[in-house]
Amino acid sequence: MGNKLDIQHEYEEAEKKASELKDVCEKINNSARGRHLLEEYEKKHKEAEVEKEQLGIILDAIQAAED
């Protein structure tokens, strides 16, 4: 496991990725694209959100241990 700054950076990257994937999903949903493409991006978005949540839990635990 990395240090707090490494995990904070990973969290920020996961947050950015999740946001970008959400935007892509919305654009695909508002276009004439196929449902299959939307399902794939929604899956990637969900995975990015889970990663972000897990990193957030780790950061909260590190913060609690520091207090």
Which tens digits make up the pLDDT trace of 18-61? 999 888 888 877 776 567 788 888 899 999 999 999 999 999 99
Task: Please give the Cα distance from 39 to 43 (Å, whole number).
Answer: 6
Per-residue pLDDT tens digits for 1-24: 568 889 899 999 999 999 998 888
Q: How many CB atoms lie within 10 A of CB 37?
A: 13
pLDDT the model gives residue 49: 92
**Of 24, 31, 29, 28, nearest to 48 (Cα)?**
24
Q: Are 42 and 28 in contact (CB under 8 A)?
A: no
pLDDT the model gives residue 34: 65
- Looking at per-residue pLDDT, the higher value among 62 and 29 belongs to 62
pLDDT the model gives residue 22: 87
Residue listed under structure tokens 């520091």: 66
Q: Where are the domains of the chain?
A: 4-66
